[in-house]
Amino acid sequence: MRKFIILCALLIPAVALAADDAGITIPDWSDFAPKTFVDVKAPKGISKFNVTAKYWYNRRVAFEEGIDKCRTLENIDEKFNCYEALKVEQYKLNSDYNARLEARENTTTAIPEMSSKSDQLLPINSYLNGMTKFIPNELGY
């Protein structure tokens, strides 16, 4: 019985923090960001990693501002719609980000025909082999 009371005392505040009024769940940043960038801080300097970190940092700041805006609403329906709109926006941004990554990967990969060493675009070897053979009667000597 004592364990049950302690468990309830620990779970009730956790549930209260995860849910807002009338059981509305607040979106969590970790649902939208890659694990590497969940706790991203403002990056310093310029490098490929910092550019990516800056992108996720700016998204996190905008996400937290959206959460704060939704929390200020008093009407339950408006608050629910605000959180849902925030989720939809984050899913759209993730979709756009993944599409940009995929497009970048497609442009940086080599043409498959050029990457295989066994493929020959022109039958040059057989042509060169035929040229190096000497047939005495061809040259008219």
Q: Give the pLDDT score at 93.
A: 94
Residue that the structure tokens 């040229």 belong to: 131
The answer to whether the beta carbons of residues 57 and 34 sit under 8 Å apart is no
The more confident residue out of 98 and 115 is 98
Tell me the pLDDT band of 73, cut-offs 50, 70 and 90.
very high
Q: What is the tally of structural domains in the chain?
A: 1
Q: What percent of the chain has pLDDT over 70?
A: 61
Q: Is the dihedral of CA 57, 60, 65, 66 positive or negative?
A: positive
What is the arithmetic mean of pLDDT over 13-29?
Answer: 67
Most confident of 39-48, 74-83, 119-128: 74-83
Query: To the nearest 5 percent, what fractions of the chain are helix, strand and coil?
Result: 70, 0, 30
Rounded Cα–Cα distance for residues 141 and 52 (Å) = 72
Rounded Cα–Cα distance for residues 44 and 53 (Å) = 10
